[in-house]
Structure 1
Amino acid sequence: MYRIVQVLNNNIAIVKKGDKQEIAMGKGLVFQKKKGDLISEAAISNLFVLKNEESKENISILLKDIPLDYITTAYEIIENAINKYDYSVQEYIYVTLTDHLYWNSKKLRKGEYIESFLPDINEQYPVEYEIAKDALEIIELKLGIVFPKSELKNLSIHFINAQTKSDSHSEMSEKKVNEQNIMQQIEMILKGKNILRSTDNQNFYDRLMIHLRYMLDRDGQQTDDSFAEKMEESLKKEYPKAYETAEEIYQEISEKTGLDLKPSEKVYFTIHLQRIL
């Protein structure tokens, strides 16, 4: 039996068995249940482990109102990448990919979907492109949604962005301390630019701050500069205001934190800023 730590919605909960916390998923899994109640293993359709408190917080923010089908579909896409392609990812992709699938599918249904402006990445990232091709098939099979082919670029970027390498425990501990200090400085910079969390923008702001934290996690893992430069040119044309704001903020972050910012990181930051602006 698992004990409920936090109910996220009727289908999803953070649960505990022994000292290990996990995300449990199942249709109507925690309907009319509350923190402290028990649920049986037979009622759970999917489980994945929460490695740290940060993961718990991020999942609570981003997945609370997303239907179960989207979460399990994203989970299957990621597990396919891990098992079929031996692809190593950071844990946060379970959150960001689910979020992407849900909101883009809503735009598609409303006729508001905008095809990707990103340059072709097939040659630079063949493995990620194959993962994305599999993902489109899984999405169509599980959700009945047929995305345009340009969605391959968006899905590929999620895996490029989340690819990771193993670090020792001491390296990770030191890195987390440094990241926390830098995050505090970044929040002060954003406030100085009048980018503040409000009732109207809290969802997008939270997504931005989560991305910033993961951007710091990726320090030293650089996307190919020529690829980032192509993306920057597209962003300047498509989202001039967001790009200009991102460029100004990145200059200040670089000066005040000493962080060696990569071109690819500025690109991702611009995309998040566009959602707020």
Structure 2
Amino acid sequence: MNITASTACAAVLGHPIAHSLSPELHNKIYQSMDLDIVYLAFDITRENFAKAVKGLGALGFIGFNITIPYKETIISYLDSIDPAAATIGAVNTVKIEGGKLIGYNTDGVGFLHSLNINNVICSQRRILILGAGGSARAIGIALVEQNPKEIVILNRSLDRAKKIAFDINEFAGRNISYAVSNAPQNVDIIINTTPLGMWPEVDKSPLEDYVFCPKTVVCDIIYNPYTTSLLKRASASGCFTINGLGMLVGQAVKAIEIWTGKKIDNSLIKLVYNDLRNKLK
């Protein structure tokens, strides 16, 4: 790739960030589409977050992604926010336009992309979401439109779980979700939105003693490691498992469309997905 003074820049901010595949994913797409853009990853500590955000704007970046733990923190630095992201209460994509920071959330779109490429249907299914952060809220709100039978939120803080369940019900216009302190057994789909099991703490799992039913689809939005401790246990019990790579690709595609206004061909999306999958396996 030929980087010059006119090359546009984008980035991902998070902590930790060394595990991120986003630079490789984005740069593959930019090069394949002959876009003069380079994508970088920045490990930003909390005390430097404000300076980093301001710096990207000053340097003329076209936009940036936000990952753990700053998806909610970033909101106070924005000039405007997409209505869907405002409802979710978390932002993972920022467009810089005319010096203004505009926030979006592509978590829900990315997760639905992952379900679609794995032919998973949510209609009339009972779904358990692990975690109560920005990703859990975004995914829960996206799933509402897929007509599930029920959405159950499990989190260490029952109050946070209740808040997300309330927000999902407000968005859905009906009582479709509720919070629990113990994981129920009779669910069709389990989705881990917590960082438990993410590199480098790969031995951790949000469901240490859970007994999986073979008919259950178990999803983890973590993609590094490729197969988390949760997914290993679920697979050993006969469950169909999905990691976070499809969601990552879906998020990236939407972010690039937001920043550039260009649609990405499905054949390129599949090619990049397969390249990354083969690398991670």
Larger proportion of strand? 2
Q: Judge same fold: TM > 0.5, yes or no.
A: no
Normalised by the size of structure 1, how large is the TM-score? 0.32
